[in-house]
Each structure stands twice: as structure tokens, then as C-alpha cells.
Amino acid sequence: MTFQVDPDGLRAAAGELALLPTEVDNAPKLDADPVAKLLAGLSVGTELGKSNAASTQAKDVLKARFDEFSALLVTCADSFHGNDQDAAQRLAAVADLNSGDPHAGR
């Protein structure tokens, strides 16, 4: 796959990505505690009780990844020197968002 890097486009994309953590913060909370309490004593109730913490952790990781990727796009745009190869390599080194490791691939 080939693509061209445009510094202004990278900065615009970075700006959009920088807004996403706020969207994640504004996403509805699971609020599973009331249902978990109704299912007390059942394994499903116990696991449901853990879902709020798991959701919060997942959202925190997602926000960190959006921030990291936004900063990477700005770095690529700022260090662009007429050759998109370096910027493309930096972008290609970003780990899969679903890998569970925000720093994998480094």
C-alpha cells in the first residue's frame, strides 16, 4: 500500500484525534452496579460487578492511544523534509490498537 504524507493533513488529523479523548469521557457509563447487586451470589453478578472497572480501564487505554497517535502525527508533520518515507515508517511502527500494549512495536 502506498500513500503520500501531507504535513497539513497530518496536523489536521492530529487535531481530530486530539478531540477523541473528550468523546470517550462523554460516553455513557456502564453503571452496572445496580444490576450486579440484584444478581449477588451468582457468578454473573460477580463478573458484572467488575465491568465498570474494566470499562474505565479500557477507556483510559483508548484515550492514551488517541493522545499518543495525535502526538505522533504532529511529530511526523513537524519533521517532514520533502520525503514521506520517514513519516510513513513512524506511522507503520504504531502497534495495533487492539494489541493491549500501547507501546508495542517500538
pLDDT tens figures, 48-78: 999 999 999 999 999 999 999 999 999 988 8
Q: Which domain holds residue 25?
A: 7-99
Does residue 1 lie in a domain region? no
Does residue 47 lie in a domain region? yes
Does residue 30 lie in a domain region? yes
Q: Give Cα 7 distance to the centre of its chain.
A: 22
Q: Would you place residue 84 in the very low, low, confident or very high pLDDT band (cuts 50, 70, 90)?
A: low
| Residue in the block written with cell 501531507 | 6
Per-chain mean pLDDT for the chain: 85
Does residue 28 lie in a domain region? yes
Does residue 43 lie in a domain region? yes
Number of domains in the chain: 1
Does residue 85 lie in a domain region? yes
Give the percent of the chain with pLDDT over 70.
Answer: 84
Name the residue with higher pLDDT: 80 or 69.
Answer: 69
What CA–CA distance (Å, rounded) separates 55 from 25? 11
